[in-house]
Amino acid sequence: MQPDRVHRSVYADPAIFELEMERIFGRAWLILGHESQIAAPGDYFTTRMGREPVIVARQGDGSVRVLINRCMHRGAIVCAEGRGHASSFVCPYHGWTYDTDGRLRSVPVPSGYASDKTGELGLRRVLQVSTYRGFIFASRAAAGANLEEFLGPAKSSLDDLVDRAPGGELEVAGGVFKHVYHGNWKLMLENHLDGIHPAHVHASSIAVARGAPEPGASGKESYRDIAIRQMRQNAMPEPVWEAIGLWTTARGHGYMGDYHDDSRLVAAMGNPAFQEYRARLAARQGEAEADRILGVTLWNTILYPNCSFMSQFRQLRIVQPLAVDRTVVYTYSLRMKDAPPQMFRDTVAFANVVNGTASWVLTDDLEVYERVQRGLSSGAAEWVYIARGAGRDIDEQDGTRRGATGTSEVYIRAQFRAWLDYMNGR
The site for another protein (CB under 8 A) is made up of: 82, 173-182, 200-201, 203-205, 207-209, 211-213, 222-224, 227-228, 328, 333, 341, 344-345, 347-348, 351-353, 356-360, 362-364, 366-368, 370-371
| 114-147 residues labelled b (16+ CB within 10 A) or e (exposed) | eeeebeebbbbebebbeebbbbbbbbbeeeeeeb
Radius of gyration of the chain (CA): 23
| Least distance from another protein to the Cβ atom of residue 314, Å | 11
Tell the smallest beta-carbon distance from residue 78 to another protein (Å).
21
CA distance 146 to 134: 16
CB 211 within 8 A of CB 117: no
Compute the distance between CA of residue 169 and CA of residue 356 in angstroms, rounded to an integer.
24
Buried b (16+ CB within 10 A) or exposed e, 44-65: bbbbbbbebbbbbbbeeeeebb
Longest dimension (CA), the chain: 77
Nearer to another protein, 180 or 394 (CB): 180
3-state DSSP assignment of residue 230: helix
Distance (Å) of CA 422 to CA 22, 27, 149, 179, 414: 10, 8, 15, 27, 12
In this complex, which beta carbon is closest to another protein, that of residue 104 or of residue 209? 209
Task: Tell me the closest approach of the beta carbon of residue 205 to another protein, in angstroms.
Answer: 5
CA angle 254-195-274, nearest 5°?
80
Nearer to another protein, 162 or 354 (CB): 354
- Judged by beta carbon, residue 100 or residue 373, the one nearer another protein is 373
Nearer to another protein, 107 or 361 (CB): 361
Residue 269: which of 259, 255, 279, 257 has the closest Cα? 279
Query: N- to C-terminal Cα distance for the chain?
Result: 16
**Closer Cβ to another protein, 119 or 213, answer by number:** 213
Give the nearer residue to another protein in terms of CB position, either 60 or 175: 175
Strand partners, 207: none
Other CB atoms within 10 Å distance of the CB of residue 76: 14
Pick 341 or 391: Cβ nearer another protein: 341
Cβ of residue 199: shortest distance to another protein, in angstroms? 10
Residue with Cβ nearer another protein (311 or 359): 359
Q: Minimum CB separation from another protein for residue 69, in Å?
A: 17
Q: How far is the CB of 242 from another protein (least distance, A)?
A: 23
Helices (H), 127-254: 147-151, 155-163, 185-189, 197-201, 203-211, 225-233, 238-243
Please report how close the Cβ of residue 49 comes to another protein at its closest, in angstroms: 17
Calculate the alpha carbon distances from 96 to 24, 91, 123 in Å. Answer: 32, 5, 11
Q: How far is the CB of 208 from another protein (least distance, A)?
A: 4
Judging by beta carbons within 10 Å of its beta carbon (0-12, 13-18, 19+), is residue 149 exposed, middle or buried?
exposed
| Nearest distance in Å: CB 86, another protein | 19
